[in-house]
C-alpha cells in the first residue's frame, strides 16, 4: 500500500508538504492517529463540520470539499481542499491500496431489480467452476457461504477499495458486485476497474433521490462509461437494454433474454414449483437449462449469469452444469414452507419487481394467492399507489402492513397506497407486520400461495431512529411451529 499523502493525491494536486498515513477514514468518530480524514457533504450530514473532531483524534491530514483547490494548516495538520471531492475519493483510495481492482476480474451489475440475484448466483456458479469468487451487495460481502454484513448495497468508496485489497491478498479471482444508482451517482466506483458491466432492467425506483427516470437511468449508464470495461451484458427484454445496446459502440456487448436479437436466449420454457426447464440457444451454443429456482424472473437472472460465464470463456455445457446446482438467493422468491399453503418471502419493493414476482406465483399457484406488503417510509411516494394496483391485479387476498416506516407517519403511507386500490373492502389492514403475516397464514388454505413481500432477507424493521430485530422468515417459522 502507498501511505504517502503526496503520492495518493498526485493526480489531483502537487503538494509541497507530505505526511505518512496509516489509513483512510470518512467518519470522524472512527479516526485513529495518522489517518487521512475526508470531509464532504453527504445526503444526511456535511462531513466538513467534523474536521476539528478528526484533528483532535489524531488525523495526520484532512482532504475536504470546496470550490477551489487550496492548502492550509490547522494545528500543524495539512488541510487540502479539492472540488467535487466525493467523486475523487474512490480513485484516491484505490491509489492508497495499490489499485486492487487491477488484479481482479470485477463484474458489476446495475439495474432496478435483479442485481442481488445475478451477483449472488454468479459468485456461486464461479465457485462451482473452481474459481475463487466473492459477492458484494445487499446481502453483505464475501464468500456466499459466509457473508459479512454491511449497511448498504454498494459500500462507501473507502470500504469498497479496502475490501478489494483484502480479496486480492486472499487470492480471490473474481468479484461479483452490485452497482446501485446511488453509488454510481456518488462516484463510489470511480476508482474501480470494472471488466464486465451487466444491466438487468430499468424501472421506477429511488425517484426520491434521482427525481425523474432520465436522471435515474443516466446514473446507471455511468457504469458502462467507466475506463477499463471489457464488455457489457444487457437485458434485451428491457427497453433501456435495447437502447443501450445500440448506444454502446466502443465495447463488446452481449444481449440476453427472449428478444430475437439476443446472443443468449431461452425457448420452450417449462415452469413449476419444482423449478425451471428451458432450452438455451444463441451464438455461444445451445443446451438445456435446469434449475430449482422459480419463475421467469430467474430465467432472466440465469441468462445474465450465463452471458457473463460465456464472456469469461467457459463452455456452455460446463456453465449450464454449474447453474443446475445453484442455491436459492436468500429472500428472493424463497420458499420457506410448503407444509399447508406455500409460503414465499421476497424482497420485491418496487412496482416492477412486485408485478414480476406476483405474476410468477400467479402462474404457479393452483388455488388462491395471498399477498402481504407495504411501502417504505421517507422514500418515493409516487410508487405507492402503483404497488397497490399491481397487488390488486394478481392477488386474491391482500394484507397491507408496515415496511420500514422510518420517520414517516404510517397512516400517511397507508393513505398513499390505498389510492391505488379499486376495491378497498378486500384489503385487510394491519400495521403490526407480525400480526399481518399471521393473519395471512391463518386464512390460507391447502394449495394456496402466500407471498410476504418487501423485506426478503432483512432481519430488521426501521421505525423512527430505531432498528428493531424482525424477520419475515422467522415469523413464519414460529407460526408454523405452533400449528
**Are 304 and 357 found together in one domain?**
no
Same domain, 133 and 267: yes
Give the model's pLDDT for residue 206: 47
- What is the Cα–Cα distance from 159 to 463, expressed in whole angstroms? 27
Are 406 and 464 in a shared domain? yes
| DSSP symbol at 381 | S
d(C-alpha 235, C-alpha 102), whole Å? 27
DSSP state of 326: P
Q: Report yes or no on 148 lying in a domain.
A: yes
Please report, in angstroms and rounded to a whole number, the separation of the first and last CA atoms in the chain: 58
Distance CA 244, CA 45 (A): 35
Residues in the chain, total: 483
Q: How many Cβ atoms are within 10 Å of 422's Cβ, its own excluded?
A: 9
**Phi, psi values for residue 128, rounded to 5°:** -65, -30
Residue at 386 is within a domain: yes
- Cβ burial of 481 (10 Å; 0-12, 13-18, 19+) is exposed
For 15-50, the pLDDT digits (tens) are: 999 999 999 999 999 999 999 999 999 878 999 999
The answer to the question of residue 56 being in a domain is yes
C-alpha distances (whole Å) from 292 to each of 10, 122, 168, 289, 335 are 52, 16, 33, 10, 11
Domain shared by 458 and 385, yes or no: yes
Predicted pLDDT at 215: 81
HEC per residue, 132-145: CEEEEECCEEECCC
Instruction: Note whether 74 and 92 are within 8 A (CB).
Output: no
Residue 32 lies in a domain: yes
pLDDT of residue 211: 53
Q: How far apart are CA 60 and CA 321, in angstroms?
A: 53
Q: With respect to residue 385, please indicate whether it lies within any of the assigned structural domains.
A: yes
Cα 161 to chain centroid distance, Å, stands at 18
Residue with cell 464468500: 143
Angle at 138 between CA 399 and CA 199, to 5 degrees: 100
Instruction: Give dist(CA 353, CA 334) in Å, integer.
Output: 14
CATH of the domain at 283: 3.40.1190.10
- How wide is the angle at C-alpha 42 spanned by C-alphas 41 and 43, nearest 5°? 130
In a shared domain, residues 223 and 121: yes
249 and 275 co-located in one domain: yes
Cell numbers placing 282:
444463441
Q: What percent of the chain has pLDDT over 70?
A: 98
CATH number at residue 456: 3.90.190.20
Do 37 and 77 contact (CB within 8 A), yes or no? no
Grid cell of 430 as nine digits:
394491519
Domain ends where: 63, 87, 111?
87
Give me the pLDDT at residue 297, please.
92
Pick from 94, 96, 70: nearest CA to 82: 70
> Which of 64, 87, 110 represents a domain boundary (last residue)?
87
Residue 63, C-alpha cell as written in the block: 482532504
**Among 87, 111, 145, residue at a domain's last position:** 87
What is the rounded distance in angstroms from the CA atom of residue 126 to the CA atom of residue 314?
10
pLDDT by 10-residue block (mean), the chain, 483 residues: 88 94 96 97 90 98 97 96 97 97 98 94 98 97 94 89 98 97 91 98 61 78 92 96 93 91 94 96 96 95 98 98 97 93 95 94 95 95 96 98 97 98 95 98 96 96 95 96 89
Query: 302 and 229, same structural domain?
Result: yes
pLDDT tens digits, one per residue of 225-238: 998 899 999 999 99
Q: Which residues are paired to 137 by β-bridges?
A: 140
Cell of 475: 415469523
* Residues 124 and 326 sit within 8 Å (Cβ to Cβ): yes
Same domain, 225 and 315: yes
Determine the Cα–Cα distance for residues 455 and 346; give it in Å rounded to an integer: 7
Domains: count for the chain: 3
Give the whole-angstrom CA distance, residue 301 versus residue 330.
14
Distance CA 110, CA 126 (A): 19
Residue 434 inside a domain? The answer is yes
Cell output for 447 = 394449495
Cβ-based burial of 67 (10 A; exposed 0-12, middle 13-18, buried ≥19): exposed
What range defines the domain where residue 146 resides? 99-323
Among 155, 161, 204, smallest CA distance to 182 is for 155
Q: Looking at the structure, do residues 293 and 400 belong to the same domain, yes or no?
A: no
pLDDT at 176: 99
Distance of alpha carbon 5 from alpha carbon 404, whole angstroms: 42
* Total-model pTM: 0.91
What's the confidence (pLDDT) of residue 204? 52
DSSP 419: T
Residue 246 falls within a domain, yes or no? yes
Domain match, 394 and 357 both: yes
Question: Residue 67 sits in a domain of what CATH number?
Answer: 3.40.1390.10
One domain, residues 107 and 130: yes
- Please say whether the beta carbons of 31 and 5 come within 8 A: no
173/315 same-domain check: yes
Distance separating alpha carbons of residues 148 and 456, to the nearest angstrom: 17
Look at residue 93 and tell me if it is in a domain. no
pLDDT for the residue numbered 483: 83
Residue 464 confidence (pLDDT): 95
Amino acid at each position: 500500500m502507498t501511505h504517502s499523502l503526496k503520492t495518493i493525491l498526485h493526480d489531483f494536486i502537487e503538494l509541497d508538504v507530505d505526511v505518512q498515513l496509516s489509513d483512510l477514514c470518512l467518519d470522524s468518530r472512527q479516526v485513529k492517529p495518522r489517518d487521512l480524514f475526508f470531509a464532504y457533504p453527504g445526503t444526511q450530514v456535511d462531513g466538513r463540520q467534523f474536521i476539528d473532531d478528526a484533528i483532535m483524534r489524531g488525523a495526520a491530514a484532512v482532504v475536504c470539499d470546496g470550490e477551489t483547490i487550496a492548502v492550509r494548516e490547522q494545528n500543524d495538520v495539512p488541510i487540502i481542499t479539492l472540488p467535487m471531492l466525493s467523486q475523487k475519493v474512490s480513485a484516491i483510495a484505490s491509489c492508497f491500496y495499490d489499485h486492487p481492482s487491477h488484479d481482479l476480474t470485477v463484474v458489476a451489475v446495475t439495474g432496478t431489480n435483479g442485481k442481488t440475484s445475478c451477483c449472488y448466483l454468479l459468485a456461486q456458479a464461479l465457485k462451482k467452476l473452481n474459481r475463487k469468487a466473492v459477492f458484494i451487495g445487499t446481502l453483505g460481502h464475501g464468500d456466499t457461504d459466509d457473508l459479512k454484513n454491511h449497511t448498504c448495497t454498494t459500500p462507501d468508496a473507502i470500504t469498497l477499495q479496502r475490501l478489494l485489497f483484502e480479496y486480492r491478498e486472499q487470492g480471490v479471482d473474481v468479484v461479483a458486485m452490485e452497482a446501485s444508482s446511488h453509488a454510481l451517482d456518488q462516484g463510489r466506483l470511480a476508482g474501480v476497474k470494472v471488466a464486465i458491466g451487466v444491466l438487468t432492467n430499468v424501472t421506477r425506483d429511488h425517484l426520491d433521490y434521482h427525481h425523474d427516470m432520465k436522471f435515474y437511468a443516466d446514473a446507471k449508464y455511468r457504469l458502462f462509461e467507466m475506463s477499463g470495461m471489457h464488455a457489457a451484458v444487457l437485458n434485451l427484454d428491457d427497453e433501456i437494454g435495447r437502447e443501450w445496446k445500440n448506444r454502446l459502440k466502443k465495447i463488446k456487448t452481449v444481449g440476453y433474454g427472449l428478444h430475437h436479437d439476443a446472443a443468449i436466449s431461452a425457448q420452450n420454457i417449462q415452469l413449476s414449483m419444482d423449478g425451471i426447464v428451458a432450452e438455451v440457444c444463441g451464438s455461444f451454443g445451445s443446451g438445456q437449462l435446469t434449475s430449482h429456482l422459480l419463475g421467469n424472473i430467474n430465467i432472466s437472472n440465469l441468462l445474465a449469469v450465463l452471458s457473463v460465464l460465456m464472456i469469461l470463456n467457459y463452455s456452455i455445457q460446463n456453465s449450464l452444469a454449474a447453474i443446475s446446482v445453484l442455491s436459492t438467493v436468500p429472500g428472493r422468491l424463497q420458499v420457506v414452507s410448503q407444509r399447508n399453503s406455500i409460503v414465499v418471502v421476497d424482497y420485491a419493493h418496487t412496482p416492477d419487481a412486485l408485478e414480476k414476482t406476483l405474476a410468477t406465483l400467479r402462474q404457479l399457484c393452483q388455488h388462491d394467492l395471498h399477498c402481504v406488503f407495504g411501502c417504505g417510509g421517507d422514500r418515493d411516494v409516487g410508487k405507492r399507489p402503483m404497488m397497490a394496483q399491481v397487488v390488486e391485479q394478481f392477488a386474491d387476498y391482500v394484507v397491507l402492513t408496515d415496511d420500514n416506516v422510518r420517520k414517516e407517519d404510517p397512516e400517511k403511507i397507508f393513505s398513499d397506497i390505498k389510492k391505488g386500490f379499486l376495491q378497498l373492502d378486500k384489503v385487510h389492514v394491519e400495521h403490526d407486520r407480525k400480526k399481518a403475516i399471521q393473519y395471512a397464514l391463518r386464512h390460507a388454505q391447502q394449495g394456496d400461495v402466500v407471498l410476504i413481500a418487501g423485506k426478503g432477507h432483512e432481519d430488521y424493521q426501521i421505525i423512527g431512529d430505531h432498528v428493531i430485530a424482525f424477520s419475515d422468515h422467522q415469523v413464519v417459522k414460529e407460526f408454523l411451529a405452533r400449528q
